[in-house]
Amino acid sequence: MGTDLETYCQGFARASEPWPPLPLADAPELAWWHELIGPAPGGVLQGPALLAALQKALPQLRLPQVEGISSSELYKQSVLRGEHLCADALACAGPLPSWEQPQALTLWIAPHPTGAMPVLQTPSWPDFEQLVRALAHRAEPAVLADGVHAQAVSGLIHWGLINRFGRQSRARLIVLHQAPYGSVSAVHVPGGLSDAAWLTASTTLRLEHELTHLATKRVLNEMRLNLLDELVADAMGMVAALGRFDAALFGRCLGVDCTNGDRPIAKGRWLSYTSELSDQDAYRAVELVMTRTRELQNRLMQHPQLLEPEQAMVRLQWLCQQRLDQPLTAPAATQR
């Protein structure tokens, strides 16, 4: 069933409600991840030992990724009941996962005022696909949408947590693929960044983007496939990564040709957030978000204090009060 444009543009239902005092408490289960990382240099654990530890706690990572695996007895034994299965038993269901760059897999804890999150990152696209299929799709061979380089996972069966905190415990984490954000080349990024610098900035942008979605879920109880949500998340990510917000870069990352009347590109990322709209309404939603995007760039230039790191949650709360179909409100006075 489709959605009409007026409903799509309603904004966050609880946007006008006061926020709880920040920072919010971290989940107790985060202790397991901290202990796994232990004294790793820079708080980052990396390599085959990390993969082995994850496979022990998350048997999903050991399963063959074949159609129907999530309803198999093998899945029930290993994932739902936590029974150890030897490689031979697993191989009977299909080819075992083969990791392209296990030495490059990294884990760290990303702090955030609405709750820290464990983060898994890999530079390998095949390894990223395997991680997302195993953790977000119950080891089913799901096809990832074009341009997907990040996945927030929640409600994950994690036997390391269950053994320590009880059967009700579930894991949350973010999985990242190390790649230029939005598949945009560094030559189109303001500031004259090198390819290497843009790749590093892309990780910051992508991570802050995912943390922002999780923040709106925890504080406002909403995390939607909506262009307003994407504008909010990309704005928070760009400011964290680049110290500024750029409307043209947002358009490129979304898959919009800003040089041709904000014409949506046929396979652009915008499609993922307008799938419930008619074609006419989807194009109109893209026009609206690009109008709001240019207003946002101007607002932040007029109020540069909102770009400061200590104003991040003030900025986020203000952004969440906006609507696609209305001009941006003026930001309230910031507080030190």
Instruction: Give the alpha-carbon dihedral of 77, 80, 81, 82, to 10 degrees.
Output: 90
Cα 93 from Cα 65, distance rounded (Å): 9
| Cα atoms found within 13 Å of the Cα of residue 335, Cβ hemisphere only | 5
Strand positions, DSSP E, 36-187: 45-46, 106-110, 117-122, 150-156, 171-177
Say whether 135 sits in a helix, a strand or coil. helix
What is the distance between the alpha carbons of residues 221 and 322, in angstroms, rounded to a whole number?
16
- Give the bridge partners for 46, in sequence order: 106
Q: Which two structure tokens, joined as six digits, stand for 112?
A: 């955030």
pLDDT of residue 261: 78
Q: pTM for the full model?
A: 0.95
Please count the CA atoms within 13 angstroms of the CA of 117 that sit on its side-chain side: 25
Report yes or no: 184 and 199 within 8 Å, Cβ to Cβ: no
**How many angstroms separate the CA atoms of 215 and 217, rounded?**
5
Are 239 and 314 in contact, with CB atoms under 8 Å apart? no
The C-alpha atoms of residue 134 and residue 307 are separated, in whole angstroms, by 37
**In the chain, count of helices (H) and strands (E)?**
12, 7
Task: Name the burial class of residue 72, with classes exposed (0-12), middle (13-18) and buried (19+) by CB atoms within 10 angstroms of its CB.
Answer: middle
pLDDT of the chain along its 336 residues, tens only?
589 999 999 999 999 999 999 999 999 999 999 999 999 999 999 999 999 999 999 999 999 999 999 999 999 999 999 999 888 989 899 999 999 999 999 999 999 999 999 999 999 999 999 999 999 999 999 999 878 899 999 999 999 999 999 999 999 999 999 999 999 999 999 999 999 999 999 999 999 999 999 999 999 999 999 999 999 999 999 999 999 999 999 999 999 987 777 888 878 899 999 999 999 999 999 999 999 999 999 999 999 999 999 999 999 999 999 999 999 999 986 544
**pLDDT score at 333:** 61
Q: If 0-12 CB within 10 Å is exposed, 13-18 middle and 19+ buried, where does residue 299 land?
A: buried
